[in-house]
Structure 1
Amino acid sequence: MAKRKKRTKKKSSSTLLKYTAWTLAIIALVLTSLIVGYYLGVNNEKTKTIVKEKVIVKEKKTAKIPKAPVSVNKRLKEVLKKETKAYASAAHEIDDETLANPPKAKAKKVEIYTSKPKLAIIIDDMQTTSQVRAVKSLHLNVTMSFLPPRAARPNSAKLASHEKFYMVHLPMEAMHFSAEEPHTLRIYDSQQKISAKIKDIKKLFPKVGYINNHTGSKFTANEVAMNRLIFALNTNHIHFIDSRTTAKTMAPKVLKNFGLKYVSRDVFLDHHMDKPYILKQIKKAIAVAKSHGSAIAIGHPHKNTLQALYESKDLFKDVELVQVNKIY
Structure 2
Amino acid sequence: MKEIKVYRLTILFLLFVIFLQWVFMAGRSKEKEGLRPLRKQPSAVFKGRIAIVIDDWAYNLNNIEMLDRIHVPLTCSVLPNLNYSQAAIEELHSRNLETILHLPLEPHEKYRLEKDTVMVSMDESEIKNIVERDLDSLKVIKGVSNHMGSLATEDVKTMDVIFSVLKKRNLYFLDSVVTSRSVCQGLAKKWGLRFAKRDVFLDNLEDPVYIKGQISKLKIKARRSGQAIGVGHDRRLTLEVLAEVIPELKKEGYKFVFVSELVK
Say yes or no: TM over 0.5. Answer: yes
Question: What is the identity, as a one-letter code, of the residue corresponding to 1:117?
Answer: G
- Corresponding position of 1:325: 260
- Corresponding position of 1:276: 209
1:117 to 2:51 alignment: no
* More deviation, 238-247/146-155: 146-155
Paired with 1:307 and 1:193, the residues of 2 have a C-alpha distance of 40
Residue by residue over 1:20-63, the C-alpha shift from the partner in whole angstroms, topping out at 9 and shown as x without a partner, is xxxxxxxxxxxxxxxxxxxxxxxxxxxxxxxxxxxxxxxxxxxx
TM-score by length of 1: 0.61
Paired with 1:136 and 1:167, the residues of 2 have a C-alpha distance of 19
1:255 to 2:188 alignment: yes
Paired with 2:84 and 2:143, the residues of 1 have a C-alpha distance of 24
- Corresponding position of 1:225: 158
- Corresponding position of 2:61: 129
The answer on whether the counterparts of 2:172 and 2:194 sit within 8 Å (CA) in structure 1 is no
Q: Give the superposition deviation at 1:240.
A: 0.7
1:315 to 2:246 alignment: no
Question: What is the identity, as a one-letter code, of the residue corresponding to 1:226?
Answer: M
- Corresponding position of 2:87: 155
- Corresponding position of 2:200: 267
- Corresponding position of 1:111: none
Paired with 1:188 and 1:243, the residues of 2 have a C-alpha distance of 22
The answer on whether the counterparts of 2:172 and 2:260 sit within 8 Å (CA) in structure 1 is no
Say which SS state the counterpart of residue 145 (structure 1) adopts.
strand
Q: Give the superposition deviation at 1:161.
A: 4.7
Question: What is the identity, as a one-letter code, of the residue corresponding to 1:140?
Answer: V
The answer on whether the counterparts of 1:161 and 1:205 sit within 8 Å (CA) in structure 2 is no
Paired with 2:166 and 2:199, the residues of 1 have a C-alpha distance of 22
Paired with 1:129 and 1:241, the residues of 2 have a C-alpha distance of 23
Could you tell me which runs of 5 or more consecutive residues in structure 1 were left unpaired when the two chains were aligned: 1-113
Question: What is the identity, as a one-letter code, of the residue corresponding to 1:305?
Answer: T
The structure with the larger Rg is 1
Task: Kindly indicate which of the two structures has a greater share of residues assigned to strand.
Answer: 2
- Corresponding position of 1:93: none
Q: 1:176 to 1:287 in 2, by over 3 A?
A: same
Paired with 1:152 and 1:325, the residues of 2 have a C-alpha distance of 24
1:169 to 2:82 alignment: no
Aligned-residue Cα RMSD (Å) equals: 2.0
Could you tell me which runs of 5 or more consecutive residues in structure 2 were left unpaired when the two chains were aligned: 1-44
Q: What is the percent sequence identity of the aligned residues?
A: 27
- Corresponding position of 2:70: 138
Number of equivalent positions: 215
Question: What is the identity, as a one-letter code, of the residue corresponding to 1:196?
Answer: N
1:103-114 matched pairs, under 5 angstroms: none
TM-score by length of 2: 0.75
